[in-house]
Structure formats: structure tokens, C-alpha cells
Amino acid sequence: GEIPAPDRDELGRVMTRHLALSIEECGLRRGVNTMRRHLIWYARGRAGAHEFRRRVVRLEDPAEIVREIEAFLSGGYDHAGG
């Protein structure tokens, strides 16, 4: 059978945890840089993905990235036509 896509809450937990583990494993700068491509992948195909990508690729502070994840998954970018 097919595995269902995670809901927004689960996806948010996974994205945030993956970010934390990447930073823990690779250090702050490299961990954040590595996670950018993963975050974009997580967002692919969801409403607001384009705007999320545009915003997150510029960020270096993990707290700001988490805020963007929350905004994206709460539908804050849906109007941006991702």
C-alpha cells in the first residue's frame, strides 16, 4: 500500500527535529546550510512552497527558520501561490 503524506503538525515536528539534528551533527553554519535543501524538499508540492523557499534560503538563525516553518505550515504562505 501507499504511505499517506504526513499532516502539517507531523511535518512541522519532522522538519524542526531534522534541523536540530543537522546542527547537532554538522555545527551551526554547515547544519543550517545543509538543511536548506532538505527544507525545500519537505515543502515541495505544498501551497506556499515557493514563498517558503524564497524566505528560508536567506536565513542563518535556527529560531528564524523554525518561525518560517511554522508560518509556512500554518498556511501563512498559501496566498503567495506556492
pLDDT tens digits, one per residue of 20-57: 999 999 999 999 999 999 999 999 988 999 999 999 99
pLDDT at site 81: 46
Asked if the model's pLDDT at residue 79 lies above 80, the reply is no
Q: For residue 62, give the nearest of 26, 13, 20 by alpha carbon.
A: 20
CA angle at residue 19 from 67 to 76, to 5 degrees?
Answer: 25
pTM, entire model:
0.85
The per-residue pLDDT for 78 is: 67
